[in-house]
Amino acid sequence: MEGKGGEMSGRAKGRRRKITPLSKTFEERPQDQIHSQGEEDVDQFPFPFRFWILACVQLICGAAVYLGLWIVPYLMGGLSIIFQPVETLRICFVVAFPVILFSFSMLRLQPEICPVWWAAFRGFLSLPIGMIVASFIATIFGAPVSYESAVRTLHWGALVSTLTVVPVAAVAGGSWPMWHQLFAATKPNGPLELALCLPAHGAAIGSWVGAWPMPLDWERPWQEWPVCCTYGAVGGYLLTVFVSLGWNAVNLRQSSKGEEEKAK
Amino acid sequence: MTLSLAKRAFSLFVYLLVLDGVAIFFFTRGFLLTRSELPAFSDCSDVSSISSCTGETVKCLSGECKENDYTEDKLAYGPIKNQGTPELAQSGASGRQGKKLNEQCSTRPVIKKAIVLIIDALRFDFVAHSRNFKGEPKPWMDNLPVLQRLIEEDNTTARLFKFLADPPTTTQQRLKGLTTGGLPTFIDIGHSFGAPAIVEDNLILQMQRTGKRVVMMGDDTWLQLFPTQFAKAYPFPSFNVKDLHTVDDGVISELFPALHRDDWDVLIGHFLGVDHVGHTFAVESPFMVEKLKQYNDVIEGVVTLLRNMSEPGGLLEDTLLIVMGDHGQTLNGDHGGGTPEEVETALFALSMNRRSGGCLSKALISSCEVEDPVIGCISSIPQLDFSATLASFLGVPFPFGSVGQVNAELFDLVVRDPESSPLDSRGDSGSSLCTLRMLERYKDVLCTNSRQVKRYFEAYSAVAISGFPKQDLERLETLYSTAHDLNVTHSCSTCQLSSISDVELIPTMTRRMIDESQVQVEAYRAYLSAAASLARSQWTQFGIEWMAVGLSLLFASIAIRAVALHRLSQNGQERWEVGLLPIKPLLVNSIGSSYPIVMLIVLQPLFRGTPFYSAMMYIQENLSIVIIGVTIAASVISYMTASPRPFSGKNLRFWIGGSEKKRRFPTAEQMDLRSLAAALFLILHALSLFSNSYIVAEGVVINFFMASSGMIYLRSAIKAHSKISQAICYLGVIWILPRIHSLALFKGLKAIEGPGFFGSGLDFADSGSILLLQLILTITTVAFPLIALTWVIRWKLSKSYLSTGRLWKSVQSGISISYFLIAVYWILMDLTSSGLISRPDHVMRFVRLDIPRAIYLISSVVISAAAVREIHSWRIFGSKLTSAAEILLRTAAVVVSGFSGSLMILMGRKGPLILMAVALEVWCFLELQALTSCGRSTNLISSDMERREVESIIPSFRATADWSLIALQIFFSTGHSCAFDGLHFSAAFVGFDDFGFYQQGILLAVETFGSSHVLPIFGLPFLVVWRLRFTRSSGQADDKYVIVEVTKGYLWFGLIRLVLTAVTTASVCIQRRHLMVWGIFAPKFVFDSLGFLVVDVLVILVTSLFFFIPGRKQHSS
């Protein structure tokens, strides 16, 4: 499952080039600058603020996903993922997608050459690609392919790619080294990359684990595709959001000590 | 004794085969316990000699009360006599009853003739009205309107029941169960190919003995079960499931003439069409409707004849018509298991005896399965009861081994009170008198029935090796004596009734006596039901100790493989090689261990009277098996302890490869993501085998794991920046492979275009476009894959090691010819089956029979030529020029490609496409092996890393685990499943029309295990050598190295499969009381263990090639 992001990145890159040749101009520069990016970031935001902004963004995204999946559908006439999966997934997507897209657009790399609208735009562009690739991968794993379930699969794919691909696309755009580093090598470097990488993997692995109860003959409505995979994806996402927050907080103390020593 | 490494490896595999075989045999002996079949038969005399059941009450009513005799009863049940009324004790005159009973033998016949029409795989919803089912009426419902009409017209002469079969729901087991009234155990299913005659007492035999003439027509399974018992038989071949009409047309042509003749008493007609339609086209197909309509006409005809000829004195007077199924089927047309769809079938009974309505108390009729708005309650009958019920109607003795009871409702339907007509006029009291008499008769029948069951239980406990548990027998005994006491106390109270002169008292007396009889009937029924449920539990009684021994031997075999792998990975030190198969300790210990047992037996008389004696008697009884078990156990222990160095705690850490100090634990590079994932998948897969749902969904589970491993490969490929397209292609094949089988176009255009399926969308007049469509279809799905495969074999495979030699050239041309023949075969078959071209029959016969046979011939010639060549060149030249890799690859390539032709024709139309997908998948997989654990691509590999890759057993595990997953995926995506209904019986008739046990068995085995066992195991050397190409910088590997790696590969492959098999076995053992044990777990166990033995045998075949490798090089190293 972990290769998923990697493949998406490959596709995303290839297609984006075809769709919007404009982006080339933005893409070629970051590739050279990717290593020096950390220092620029420091310049952009003073050190302790970076962490708090990131933490706020992550918490907001987590809250949006949670609200979107459970609270808002409930308020909107008692919908539930178990009985109205398509409608609920759509609501969850509508609630979570703009929040995630715009909040991560705020954290984009190279803000000096990349305006917010462009970050949001490339995040938006990554959605259909991610959705289709995620749905296809779901069918490889055994999701049914009839018309009715294809609708469900696409809705699920939209939600999952909102959780995995969209933030990365908004932050890093078509930067291949970044995608490679996050999803193929799985070596996040710094708090921002961790906050991108870990929840994405959490969502993917969560939905992988979420598929396990499906073959059981308990005949519960939540065993239907894609209910438990959605639970898995959102559960994994929320869990890893908190894990990455905690991890960053622990590292914050250490690195702030380092900063202080440096300052001395 | 010094053996080369190669020979040691070969002998190790032989040893493992023996070990696994014994383990599985032991477990099977405990698990698939058979019922002991008693050779005893019921007889008129043995029923009458103990009988106090029949006759007297009837005689009471006809004023013979005073003449009744209870002497025998007093003899048999002395203490009870005092409880009887004084009148009873005084009654005399003995001779009459015995004589009378001898004449009428157990029960009085109430029907003269019976017609039993069996419709194979009759679903309950074929017969019952569609209003009883939820949702829209399905196309297959309500196609037997004649039955529905009869039931609705008069529910007292015609009635419908839900007929409940006991699994296994295969025809032969069901026929056995229906006729013997017993519970055929699971092991019988093994005889499904060569149906053996029933040796137990059964209904047909009893009919023959009492002079009833039984005529059979239809399914020839009957004749296999009862070779001599029929007065006349018209068998028709049943095994070819594609043949929808032969059996049915045969039955129909014989049935009506037979009905006009008077040369039979019982007529059995067995229709197979519905079963075959289900197997071939599934329930929803239009053929099913057609078939059912045909049966409707037949039944209509039979009923009309019956009506016309059933007047008193007519040919069919007092005839009972029964239309029933032997089992149901799922919507896919499968059966064999225990799901409601398969178990529920229907029984329709029509009695031509119209003397009165059924007046048996409604209270007896308890089980209401379906509440029909028009006809009321539809109740259910277990198939167990069929034999006893029909025997009681026909007046033949109950079969000795029957554990069923006479069904109350059928009894009520068929048995008529002979005196009812005059009494009926008396209104209410008349009907209650009728009820009373019927109850008394039913009670008598049940009494005889209970005696027979009791006698059977006694005889069985006396004879069988594992009898019934004591406390259960005692409980039954109590139930029986309760019932019997009641009977003796009350049986002649009816006599009082006839002697009562006061008319006013009659109704109250009657009512009281009805209540009393009802209590008695219930007591008997309680006994019979308890007996049946005890029998049900008993014949799934397991030999726990055998199972435990078998299971522990299986786990011992796992341990041996692990130890062998550890010893093998010690990188070529001589003493470790010896440890691969330490022959001397093995032989000495295993032979030595049986010595004390033999001594014990010899010295046995000395121990007489000691507590050991009974244990020794047990050993002596099972001497051969005990000796085998002890020998094997000793050899296992000696293998484990025969360490090449002094035993120490360090030895136990055999999991860790490499030399002792350096690598206690695998390093991070070895335990990379792919190995961890492979181990995780194996563990998850093994755990999933404990749940029946996962076993049912195993194909999906395997696919899920394949997809996961494909994603991991993709990730590694992206990480390494190489082989990305292969990884994507691999994922694509994983996506497509399981879907090929379920593509609708393989069912053939004919099935798709069946009447009413496409509606008027496809016009048959437009045959030109259909011809075109069919041609395109056939060419894309058959011809194109064949061309691709030919290309692979002719050009791609030739590029590697095996290009040289005339043999390979001729093999190539042979394979090309067989592929061409396959294409011709399918094009002709498709075009004729869709009626587009017609050829004379003899041409089509040639195509149908001779082309497949030619392909089989080519395959066997190619494979044996390869074998002969190896032996020949080894003899003449001593194989100076060949290396181990070359021999292995060449033979593997010849066998795999030669075998593929036969396999493809057996797999049917989808064969070529599936094999092409498999070839593509394997190619991608082999390419992806270039990604080493470090995620670097081939060229970057350093010498240090090479050493690590070589020494460790981890990479070998990683590759083999994925290989085994691929093999499993092939098994499931070729439409197989671990259930007996997953066998493709139609494959057994490719190239043959007639049934022969061996040829059809071989074809079926090849089709079942060919693609998923033969191909992967013969292909494993490819994987090994291919991997070496990437890991050895020197390119060419030396022989010893290849042998070690191939042996490692097979050890891992065996280990992985063995873990799965052992877990299946353990789960079967744990779940042996599970509801689904016979439906799901037991077939899974049979498939797994058989498949595993096949793996063992094939591995031995491949490793026997080691003998042809020159030994010179190994000794030098």
Share of chain B above pLDDT 70, in %: 74
Give residue for tokens 């001397």. B584
How many distinct structural domains can be found in chain A?
A: 1
Per-residue pLDDT band for A126 (boundaries 50, 70, 90) equals: very high
How far does chain A reach from its first CA to its final CA, in angstroms? 46
User: What is the per-residue pLDDT for B698?
Assistant: 92
Which of B715, B716, B726 to probe the A interface (max A CBs under 10 A)? B715
Element (DSSP H or E) covering residue B872:
helix B851-877
Q: Which of A1, A142, A185 sits opposite B719 (nearest CB)?
A: A185
User: What is the per-residue pLDDT for B28?
Assistant: 87
Burial class (CB in 10 A: 0-12, 13-18, 19+), B988: buried
User: What is the per-residue pLDDT for B571?
Assistant: 57
Per-residue pLDDT band for B858 (boundaries 50, 70, 90) equals: very high
- Residue that wins the pLDDT comparison between B111 and B744: B111
CB contact (8 A) between residue A140 and residue B707:
yes
Per-residue pLDDT band for B418 (boundaries 50, 70, 90) equals: low
Lowest mean pLDDT among B53-67, B956-970, B1070-1084: B53-67
- Nearest chain A Cα to B718, which residue? A184
How many angstroms away from the CA of A5 is the closest CA of chain B? 9
Output the CA–CA distances (angstroms, integers) from residue B591 to B375, B553, B640, in the order listed: 73, 18, 16
CA distance A232 to A226: 10
Which of B687, B730, B735 to probe the A interface (max A CBs under 10 A)? B735
Contact B859, B898 (CB under 8 A): yes
The verdict on residue A31 lying in a domain is no
How many angstroms away from the CA of B708 is the closest CA of chain A? 6
Q: What is the mean pLDDT of residues B88-112?
A: 48
Contacts of B550 (CB under 8 A, 6+ apart): B23, B24, B25, B26, B27, B28, B29, B30, B1065
CB contact (8 A) between residue B715 and residue A184:
yes
CB contact (8 A) between residue B700 and residue A139:
no
The verdict on residue A179 lying in a domain is yes
Element (DSSP H or E) covering residue A144:
none
Residue B1018 has pLDDT above 60, yes or no: yes
Q: What is the mean pLDDT of residues B289-293?
A: 91
- Strand ranges, E, within B326-435: 344-351, 370-372, 376-378, 380-382
- Nearest chain B Cα to A140, which residue? B735
User: What is the per-residue pLDDT for B1059?
Assistant: 95
Q: Which of B703, B712, B731 sits opposite A142 (nearest CB)?
A: B703
How many angstroms away from the CA of B672 is the closest CA of chain A? 12
Kindly compute the dihedral angle of the four CA atoms of residues B911, B913, B914, B918, in this order, to the nearest 10 degrees.
130
Contact A218, A10 (CB under 8 A): no
Per-residue pLDDT band for B1113 (boundaries 50, 70, 90) equals: very low
Domain annotation for chain B: domains and CATH numbers: 44-48+100-418+425-538 (3.40.720.10), 49-61+65-99 (no CATH), 677-761+857-1116 (no CATH)
What the block records as the tokens of B543 is 């030999």
Q: Which of B694, B703, B724 sits opposite A10 (nearest CB)?
A: B724
Q: What is the mean pLDDT of residues B485-501?
A: 60
Contact B178, B200 (CB under 8 A): no
How many angstroms away from the CA of A44 is the closest CA of chain B? 31
User: What is the per-residue pLDDT for A42?
Assistant: 42
Q: What is the mean pLDDT of residues B795-807?
A: 64
Residue B407 has pLDDT above 50, yes or no: yes
- Nearest chain B Cα to A145, which residue? B739
Alpha helices in B265-366 (DSSP H): 273-281, 286-309, 340-343
CB contact (8 A) between residue A139 and residue B735:
yes
User: What is the per-residue pLDDT for B354?
Assistant: 60
CB contact (8 A) between residue B719 and residue A180:
yes
The verdict on residue A147 lying in a domain is yes
Q: H/E/C letters for each residue in B671-739?
A: CCHHHHHHHHHHHHHHHHCCCHHHHHCHHHHHHHHHHHHHHHHHHHHHHHCCCHHHHHHHHHHHHHHHH
The verdict on residue A52 lying in a domain is yes
Show which of residues 105-144 on chain A sit within 8 Å of chain B, judged by CB atoms.
Answer: 136-137, 139-142
User: What is the per-residue pLDDT for B1062?
Assistant: 95
CA distance B117 to B119: 6
Contact B362, B75 (CB under 8 A): no
Count of other CB atoms within 10 angstroms of residue B784: 15
Domain hosting A122: range is 3-21+43-263
Chain B residues touching A4 at Cβ < 8 A? 711, 715
How does the average pLDDT of chain A come out, rounded? 80
- Nearest chain B Cα to A176, which residue? B718
Contact B990, B905 (CB under 8 A): yes
Q: H/E/C letters for each residue in A208-248?
A: HHHCCCCCCCCCCHHHCCCHHHHHHHHHHHHHHHHHHHHHH
Q: Is the peptide bond between B912 and the residue preceding it cis, with omega within 30 degrees of 0? A: no
CA distance B833 to B829: 6
User: What is the per-residue pLDDT for B762?
Assistant: 46
Output the CA–CA distances (angstroms, integers) from residue B1040 to B190, B575, B865, B883, B1074, in the order listed: 43, 15, 26, 10, 50
CA distance B926 to B412: 71
Show which of residues 202-241 on chain A sit within 8 Å of chain B, judged by CB atoms.
Answer: 208, 211, 215-217
CB contact (8 A) between residue A217 and residue B696:
yes
Q: How far is CA B971 from the centre of its chain?
A: 18
CB contact (8 A) between residue A6 and residue B707:
no
How many angstroms away from the CA of B37 is the closest CA of chain A? 37
Which of B711, B924, B934, B1081 to probe the A interface (max A CBs under 10 A)? B711
A4 interfaces chain B, CB cutoff of 8 Å? yes
Q: What ipTM was predicted for this assembly? A: 0.84
The verdict on residue A37 lying in a domain is no
* A127-140 pLDDT tens trace: 999 999 999 999 99
3-state helix, strand, coil split of chain A in percent (to 5) is 80, 0, 20
CB contact (8 A) between residue B718 and residue A7:
yes
User: What is the per-residue pLDDT for B1031?
Assistant: 63
DSSP string, B273-288: HHHHHHHHH-TTSHHH
* B696-731 pLDDT tens trace: 899 999 999 999 999 999 998 888 888 889 999 999
Lowest mean pLDDT among A215-219, B91-95, B746-750, B818-822: B91-95
Contacts of A18 (CB under 8 A, 6+ apart): none
The verdict on residue A32 lying in a domain is no
Residue A147 has pLDDT above 70, yes or no: yes
- Polymer length of chain B: 1117
Per-residue pLDDT band for B36 (boundaries 50, 70, 90) equals: low
Give residue for tokens 């639970």. A231
Residue B63 has pLDDT above 50, yes or no: no
Residue A225 has pLDDT above 80, yes or no: yes
The verdict on residue A30 lying in a domain is no
Q: What is the mean pLDDT of residues B620-643?
A: 80
Residue B202 has pLDDT above 90, yes or no: no
CA distance B1030 to B1032: 6
CB contact (8 A) between residue B734 and residue A140:
yes
Q: Tell me which amino acid residue B845 is.
A: R
Count of other CB atoms within 10 angstroms of residue B514: 19
Angle at alpha carbon of residue B537, lines to B534 and B542, rounded to 5°: 135
Contact B8, B577 (CB under 8 A): yes
* A217-231, B353-367, B489-503 — most confident range: A217-231
A98 interfaces chain B, CB cutoff of 8 Å? no
Q: Tell me which amino acid residue B306 is.
A: L
Q: Which of B778, B866, B864 is nearest to B829 (CA)?
A: B778
Interface of B with A (CB under 8 A): 673, 691-694, 696-697, 700-701, 703-704, 707-708, 710-719, 724, 727-728, 731, 734-735, 739
How many angstroms away from the CA of A186 is the closest CA of chain B? 9
User: What is the per-residue pLDDT for A35?
Assistant: 44
* B312-370 pLDDT tens trace: 777 788 888 999 999 988 887 877 767 788 888 999 998 876 655 566 656 566 667 77
CB contact (8 A) between residue A141 and residue B707:
yes
Burial class (CB in 10 A: 0-12, 13-18, 19+), B994: exposed
Q: What is the mean pLDDT of residues A204-232?
A: 90
* A43-57, B613-627, B870-884, B1058-1072 — most confident range: B1058-1072
Count of other CB atoms within 10 angstroms of residue B894: 26
Which of A1, A7, A178 to probe the B interface (max B CBs under 10 A)? A7
Count of other CB atoms within 10 angstroms of residue B69: 17
Q: What is the mean pLDDT of residues B41-50?
A: 58
Tell me, what DSSP letter sits at residue B1011?
Answer: I
Residue B606 has pLDDT above 90, yes or no: no
DSSP string, B629-647: HHHHHHHHHHHHH--SS--
CA distance B457 to B470: 12
How does the average pLDDT of chain B come out, rounded? 77
Chain B residues touching A2 at Cβ < 8 A? 673, 711-712, 715
CA distance B417 to B420: 5
Does residue B337 come out as left (phi exceeding 0), alpha (psi in the -120 to 50 range) or beta? beta
CA distance B735 to B121: 35
What the block records as the tokens of B27 is 């477990």
What the block records as the tokens of B421 is 């007509």
The verdict on residue A35 lying in a domain is no
Show which of residues 151-180 on chain A sit within 8 Å of chain B, judged by CB atoms.
Answer: 180
Residue A75 has pLDDT above 80, yes or no: yes
How many angstroms away from the CA of A53 is the closest CA of chain B? 31
What the block records as the tokens of B239 is 């095994």
- Residue that wins the pLDDT comparison between B1083 and B581: B1083
A15 interfaces chain B, CB cutoff of 8 Å? no
Burial class (CB in 10 A: 0-12, 13-18, 19+), B46: middle
Chain A residues touching B668 at Cβ < 8 A? none
How many angstroms away from the CA of A66 is the closest CA of chain B? 27
Chain A residues touching B708 at Cβ < 8 A? 1, 141, 208
- Residue that wins the pLDDT comparison between B872 and A62: A62
- Residue that wins the pLDDT comparison between B38 and B775: B775
